Structure 1
Amino acid sequence: MNKSMNVFVIIALVMLSGCFPSNDLEKKQVHLTGITMGTVAYNIKYIEQPIDGGTPIPSDVVVHQNVERILKQLNQDMSNWIPDSELSKFNSHDSLSPVKISEGLRRVIAESIRLGHLSEGKLDVTIGPLINLWGFGPEARPEKAPTQEEIAQAQARTGIDNLMLEGNMLTKRIPNLYVDLSTIAKGYAVDLVAEYLDSISAHNYLVEIGGELRAKGFKHTGELWSVAIEKPVSTERAVHQIIIPKDNAIATSGDYRKYFEENGQRYSHIIDPDTGKPINHKLVSVTVIHPSSMTADGLSTAMMLMGPEKAYAFAEEHKIAAYLISKSENGFIEQFTVEFMPYLK
C-alpha cells in the first residue's frame, strides 16, 4: 500500500491507551538503563508484579545485575571491537578447520546465514572487510573514499557461502574471511533480555537497545506499549508514524543517522555486498515487525539494501510486516504491506 505524506510530529516513544487484564491498573513499573556494546544505550521497562500472583520477580537491583551480565557475555561472544571476543578470535585465525562456537554465537550465525540466503545475499555478515574499508568498523575511517581496486580486494574476502555452520561447528571456506554481526547483534541482545524477563515472570515489558525494541503486555497504567517510527532526516528527531507492535519486536534500518561526507558526496554506513559501496537509492528507512528482534533487525537491513521496489516485493512475497519510507522530490513516500496494517495507529 502506497501513499504520500508530509510529517511533522515530535516524539520518539509513546504509550497509547489500552486495557490491562486486571482491575488494578496502577502497578509498579521498573525502568533500567545502561550502556552496552561500548556506546549503545539500553532502556528496559517492566512491571514488577507477576501475573496472577505467580513467583515473585527478583528485586530491580538483581534484575539489573543479570541484564548487565547477559549483555556483557553477548559482547564477549560476538563483538568486533573486543580483541579477545569469541568472534574476534574466529576472525583472526586463518585455518579452514571447523571451530566449536558458543550457543549464543551459533544462534546468531545460523539466523544470519538463513536470512542471507533468503535475501539472495543482500544480508551478508561476511562484509566486514568492506565495512572496515569504508571506515564504519573498528578501524579508523580512511582520509578518502577507497578506490575500485581496494573495493574489489575487500570483496574477494567476502561471501555468505564462504561461512559454513554445522551444529555448533563454524568453518571458513577462505582463510581471511571476516564476520561482522553488527546488522543483527543488537536485535539478538533485545531477544536475550526479553527471554530473561519472561523467565522471571515479568511478562509486561518494553526492551530497547540502540533503537531495536521488543514489547509484551502493558505498561503500569494499563496502556498498550506503542512506539514511533522516526522521520528519516538527520537534522531533527521527529515522528513519522505511530504504531502498536503488540507482543512483537520492531526494528528500523535507515541511512540518515550514520554516514560521512566527502567532497559533497554522502556515504551511508549500509554497504551493498554486490557493489562493495554504500547504498545509493531512494529508500531511506525500513521498519519490520516480527516476534524476534534478531530476525526483524536482519530483515530491515536486508530490505534497506534492496531499494524500494525490490524491498517491497520481497516483503510481499515473504509476508513480512514491513513499512518503507522513500524520498521523492515532493517529500516522503511510504509503503506498507498488508501484514503491517494491524499495527498502525
Structure 2
Amino acid sequence: MTVLPRDNAEAPRGLGVTLFLALAICGCASASAPTPVRWSGQTMGTTYSVAVTALPEGATKEALAAAVEEELAAVNRQMSTWDPDSELSRFNASASTDWFPVSPETAAVTALALEIAAESGGAFDPTVGPLVDLWGFGDDARPSRVPSDEALDAARELVGFDKLEVRLDPPALKKALPGVRVNLSAIAKGHGVDRVAERLAAAGVTDSLVEVGGEVRAAGTKAGGEPWTVGVERPIQDPTGHRRAVQRGIALHGGPDVRALATSGNYRSFYELDGETVVHTLDPRTGRPVLVASDGPNLDSATVLAADCATADALATAAMVLGPADGLALLERRGIAGLLIVRVGDRFEEVPTAAFQRQFGDK
C-alpha cells in the first residue's frame, strides 16, 4: 500500500497529477468570464489546492478558505497516524480488543477500506501499519538492512483486514489483537478531497476543482464553460521531484462517475537498501515492498477515476500492489475508468481499462 510522509514533514508536490493549476485553470475563458479564485496550503504531509470558478453571492475567498482549512483539520484529528491525539492514533495505542468509539467519518472510511481490502484479496489493507514502520515509512527510521524473516513474520502476525472490524451505528472500531494498527494514508487523502468538495458545494459553490497531494475532484466547469482538465504525470523516477513531465491530460467532464481522479505510483518515495530499490508501495500479503525489476515490466503508476476520490485513491493503491495484469483485472471487474502506466526499460506504455478507452479514447 502507498503510504504518506509524516504530517509535518516536507513532502514532494502532489504525486500523479502535475501542472495541476496551469492545465485546469488557464485556457479558453472569454473576456466576460469570471476570474477564477484559487488558493493553496499544506495538509497531511503534502499540499492542497482549490480553484473556484466564481464565488457564490455573499461569499468571500477568505471565508471559503477558512472552511476548507477547518475541514482538512477535522480529517487530521480523526485519521492522522502522526497526531498522537487523533482518533486513529488513540485506537492504535489502545491494547483493548473491545469496541472503540470513533467518529462517523472514521468509521465510514474504514468500512470502505475493508470493502476494497476484501475485493482486492488483501492487496489493499488498512492494518498495514506495522509493515509501514518496519520498512521505515512511518515513525521508525529507515532500516540499515533488509528486515529479517523473523521481523517480517512478527509484523505480519498483526496485519490482515480480517483482524479489524467496523461498526457504523454507533460508530466504532474493534481489533482482534492488541497490537493491530490501522493506517488509512492510502485512502485519507481522497477522503479529504471529498470532504472539501462537499463543504464547498454546501457553501453554494457550483464549479470547483479540489486537489490534495495530487488527488482531485471536479464539479461543474472552469471559466468559459470548459471542462476541468488535469495532467497525469509521467512516472519519471526522481525523489527530488525536480524532473516532471505530463504524460497526458484528462478532462473531467464525463459525469458523476468520473468526477474524481487519484494516482498512485512508485517514482517519488523510494530508497536503496542492500543494492535493491525499496519503494513505498507495500504488499500486505507478503510484508514486502512491491518488486521493481531493472528491465521491467513495472507498473509505475495507476490512475483511477471514480464518483468519489476516496474510492479512486484506494483502488489506485490496490492496483499498484497487484501489478499490471491483476491491477487491470481489478479495475475491469469494477467497470471503472483507469489508466496504468507500465515501464519496460526506458519506455512507458499506457494500459487503459475498457471504460477509460470508451470515455477518453486517444490523447
* TM-score after normalising by structure 2: 0.86
CA displacement at 1:108 relative to structure 2: 0.9
Amino acid at match of 1:251: A
Asked if residue 267 in structure 1 is aligned to residue 278 in structure 2, the reply is yes
Larger mean CA deviation between 85-94 and 165-174 belongs to 165-174
Distance change in 2, residues 1:148/1:57 (3 Å): farther
> In 2, Cα distance between the equivalents of 1:127 and 1:320?
25
Q: Secondary structure at the match of 2:225?
A: coil
Distance change in 2, residues 1:205/1:25 (3 Å): farther
Q: Is the 8 A contact 1:214 1:293 kept in 2?
A: yes
Q: Secondary structure at the match of 2:342?
A: strand
Q: Is the 8 A contact 1:17 1:222 kept in 2?
A: no
Q: Is the 8 A contact 1:122 1:302 kept in 2?
A: yes
Asked if residue 237 in structure 1 is aligned to residue 254 in structure 2, the reply is no
Asked if residue 327 in structure 1 is aligned to residue 331 in structure 2, the reply is no
Q: Is the 8 A contact 1:16 1:223 kept in 2?
A: no
1:99-248 to 2 correspondences below 5 Å: 99-167=100-168, 168-235=171-238, 236-246=243-253, 247=255, 248=259
CA displacement at 1:17 relative to structure 2: 9.3
> In 1, Cα distance between the equivalents of 2:134 and 2:114?
23
Q: Is the 8 A contact 1:18 1:224 kept in 2?
A: no
Match of 1:26 in 2: 33
Larger mean CA deviation between 276-285 and 294-303 belongs to 276-285
> In 2, Cα distance between the equivalents of 1:81 and 1:170?
19
Match of 2:260 in 1: 249
* TM-score after normalising by structure 1: 0.90
> In 2, Cα distance between the equivalents of 1:161 and 1:19?
51
Q: Can you list the C-alpha shifts for 1:118-157, whole angstroms capped at 9, x where unaligned?
A: 1111100101000010000122222222111111110001
Question: When the two structures are aligned, how many residues end up with a matched partner?
Answer: 328
Q: Is the 8 A contact 1:15 1:223 kept in 2?
A: no
CA displacement at 1:231 relative to structure 2: 0.6
CA displacement at 1:169 relative to structure 2: 2.1
Q: Is the 8 A contact 2:146 2:274 kept in 1?
A: no
Q: Secondary structure at the match of 1:94?
A: coil
Distance change in 2, residues 1:16/1:68 (3 Å): closer
Distance change in 2, residues 1:86/1:15 (3 Å): closer
> In 2, Cα distance between the equivalents of 1:11 and 1:25?
28
List gaps (5 residues or longer) in structure 1. Answer: 1-9, 51-55
Give the RMSD, CA atoms, in angstroms. 2.0
Q: Is the 8 A contact 1:31 1:43 kept in 2?
A: yes
Distance change in 2, residues 1:164/1:57 (3 Å): farther
Asked if residue 47 in structure 1 is aligned to residue 50 in structure 2, the reply is no
Asked if residue 312 in structure 1 is aligned to residue 328 in structure 2, the reply is yes
CA displacement at 1:24 relative to structure 2: 8.5
Q: Is the 8 A contact 2:51 2:209 kept in 1?
A: yes
Match of 1:4 in 2: none
> In 2, Cα distance between the equivalents of 1:272 and 1:57?
49
> In 2, Cα distance between the equivalents of 1:49 and 1:143?
52
Amino acid at match of 2:34: K
> In 1, Cα distance between the equivalents of 2:64 and 2:143?
42
> In 2, Cα distance between the equivalents of 1:325 and 1:148?
32
Larger mean CA deviation between 74-83 and 218-227 belongs to 218-227
List gaps (5 residues or longer) in structure 2. Answer: 1-16, 293-297
Q: Is the 8 A contact 2:25 2:222 kept in 1?
A: no
Q: Is the 8 A contact 1:18 1:222 kept in 2?
A: no
1:329-344 to 2 correspondences below 5 Å: 329=345, 331-341=347-357, 342-344=359-361
Q: Is the 8 A contact 1:16 1:224 kept in 2?
A: no
> In 2, Cα distance between the equivalents of 1:112 and 1:240?
29
Amino acid at match of 1:257: R
> In 2, Cα distance between the equivalents of 1:57 and 1:196?
16
CA displacement at 1:209 relative to structure 2: 0.5
Asked if residue 276 in structure 1 is aligned to residue 287 in structure 2, the reply is yes
> In 1, Cα distance between the equivalents of 2:73 and 2:18?
30
How much identity, in percent, do the aligned residues show?
Answer: 38
Match of 1:70 in 2: 71
Q: Can you list the C-alpha shifts for 1:141-188, whole angstroms capped at 9, x where unaligned?
A: 222221111111100011101111122121111111000011000000
Q: Is the 8 A contact 2:124 2:318 kept in 1?
A: yes
CA displacement at 1:95 relative to structure 2: 0.7
> In 2, Cα distance between the equivalents of 1:95 and 1:16?
49
Q: Is the 8 A contact 1:15 1:226 kept in 2?
A: yes
Q: Is the 8 A contact 1:19 1:224 kept in 2?
A: no
